[in-house]
């Protein structure tokens, strides 16, 4: 199931229980899947299509205005506003995103179509540089969950982060449920998803690329190479953990390969080498786009072996 669909499941489970949860989408409700089954639209009482007791907004193609309104509603008090769109279009919101972080507003940006997995929509809709831009902001949690447990953790973190905005990044394409994932572990921002004794390589990944690393690890195991797979749904939360915990997850002395279908900018903080995309994307079916950029298990496994071979001579 796509994580945007898993997000819809979570929203439907919590919306009636959390009446202060209020928001909508910038003309992409059908794609963002943010309108819950019992939702009533916020409209004029005499409109015939909703009333002023409604909690769901149809913002139209007004991303910046939507984000600004979210900040205003949260600053007024008593509400937890959310706004939705495609992740690449959060670029239109950046002035308000910065203000969310600067003024410590608990707002939730629900952003779907989070990578080259949007496929034929092409470079205009593929958020290559977006993660690096968002993560560069102080006081913001950019959360990219890999499966259902991590989606649940993302919402739990967003609902309990009272002075920090959250950007939740969800896939268009389906992802598998991952053995080893849990809400509790995901709330640490990063954790060991799968491991083997005497691992020779560590994969560090986010979102849909975590399952890609799981498959690459299986290929390496067939060749007698042990590996560890680390899921890092929220780098800022992982950075806030103790040094001891971070060293347990990403220990020194073992080569670390990061894998994310986006710019590699910033990953040098965590990994010795990075697989990513440092150009704009391309228009093709999603599986072809991933193959074009080498984001397939065979290529990831090959680059892992290259890093293992290179690691002893690397200047660290």
Catalytic residue check, 150: no
> Which DSSP string corresponds to 74-127?
HHHSS-EEEEEEEGGGGGGGHHHHHHHHHTT---EEEEE--SGGGGGG-GGG--
CA distances from 315 to 21, 193, 255, 311 (A): 50, 28, 12, 9
CA distances from 300 to 12, 26, 95, 242 (A): 36, 36, 36, 30
Quick check: 110 and 29 in contact, CB under 8 A? no
CB atoms within 10 A of CB 35: 23
3-state secondary structure of 225: coil
Q: For 62, what's the count of Cα atoms within 13 Å in the CB-facing half-sphere? A: 10
Torsion of CA 207, 209, 210, 211, to 10 degrees: 110
Quick check: 304 and 201 in contact, CB under 8 A? yes
Catalytic residue among 8, 20, 63, 209: 63
d(CA 290, CA 116): 7
Quick check: 59 and 66 in contact, CB under 8 A? yes
CA distances from 173 to 2, 88, 153, 207, 209 (A): 5, 16, 20, 11, 12
Catalytic sites, residue numbers: 63
């Amino acid at each position: 199931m796509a994580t945007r669909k898993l997000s819809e499941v979570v929203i439907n489970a919590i919306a009636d229980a959390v009446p202060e949860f209020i928001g909508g989408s910038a003309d992409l409700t059908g794609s963002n899947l943010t309108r819950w089954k019992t939702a009533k639209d916020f409209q004029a009482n005499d409109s015939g299509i909703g009333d002023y007791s409604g909690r769901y907004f149809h913002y139209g193609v007004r991303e910046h205005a939507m984000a600004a309104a979210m900040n205003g509603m949260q600053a007024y008090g008593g509400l937890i506003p959310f706004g939705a769109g495609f992740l690449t279009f959060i670029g239109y919101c950046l002035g308000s995103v910065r203000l969310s972080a600067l003024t410590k507003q608990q707002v939730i940006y629900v952003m779907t179509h989070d990578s080259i997995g949007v496929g034929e929509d092409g470079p205009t809709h593929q958020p290559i540089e977006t993660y690096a831009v968002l993560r560069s902001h102080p006081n913001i949690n950019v959360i990219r969950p890999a499966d259902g447990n991590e989606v649940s953790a993302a919402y739990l973190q967003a609902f309990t982060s009272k002075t920090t905005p959250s950007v939740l990044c969800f896939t268009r394409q389906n992802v598998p449920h991952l053995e080893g994932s849990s809400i509790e572990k995901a709330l640490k921002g990063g954790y060991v998803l799968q491991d083997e004794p005497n691992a020779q390589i560590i994969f560090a990944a986010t979102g849909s690329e975590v399952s890609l690393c799981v498959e690459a690890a299986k290929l390496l195991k067939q060749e007698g190479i042990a590996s560890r797979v680390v899921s890092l749904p929220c780098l800022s939360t992982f950075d806030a953990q103790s040094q001891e915990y971070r060293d347990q997850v990403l220990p020194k002395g073992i080569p670390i390969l990061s894998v994310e279908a986006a710019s590699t900018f910033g990953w040098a903080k965590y990994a010795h080498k990075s697989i990513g995309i440092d150009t704009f994307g391309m228009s093709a079916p999603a599986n072809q786009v991933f193959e074009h950029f080498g984001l397939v298990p065979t290529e990831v496994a090959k680059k892992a072996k290259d890093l293992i071979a290179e690691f002893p001579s690397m200047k660290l």
